[in-house]
Amino acid sequence: MSKKIPIPTGGPSDIVKSIELISGSIERYKTVQEQEKTKREAIRAYRDVELGKLQAQKENFQKYIEAVFKERSNNFDEFFKRLDTAIETGDMQLANLVMTGIVNQIQSSPLQGIKEIMMQANDSDCKHIDF
């Protein structure tokens, strides 16, 4: 047995009201659909901006790390050259000074300046960051 669709028993004005309700619902749906589409586009744009900022911060951090560790490496190379000289010449005072420099270099954190670098990276007025 098949299901029968009920036929409206109201007059023509009831049918017109039904059509107006359906039409209004369709228009509201279209409006909401456009609003949600606009929201999604705004979210994607915000995401892209934030990802761009994150990428720039990553690159700045990477450059900073490379520069700082290169400088530290050069410092250690110089310290050990001077330590070799102190050992070859028997200069214990120079050896002591060089060892103090090596210990100080080891104890200092290479990341001390990263906080300022990150603040500069987030500052829209900052045009260039020096390491």
pLDDT of 46-102, one tens digit each? 999 999 988 988 888 888 888 888 989 999 999 999 999 999 999 999 999 999 999
What is the pTM for the complete model shown? 0.55
Structure-block tokens of residue 106: 């080891």
pLDDT more than 70, % of the chain: 87
Contact between 95 and 86 under an 8 Å Cβ cutoff? The reply is: yes
Structure-block tokens of residue 74: 């050069």
Angle between helices 114-122 and 12-89 (to 10 degrees): 150
Instruction: For 10-28, write each residue's pLDDT tens digit.
Output: 677 778 888 888 888 899 9
Which residue type occupies 85? T
CA distance 65 to 73: 12
Radius of gyration of the chain (CA): 36
Is the model's pLDDT at 7 over the cut of 70? Answer: no
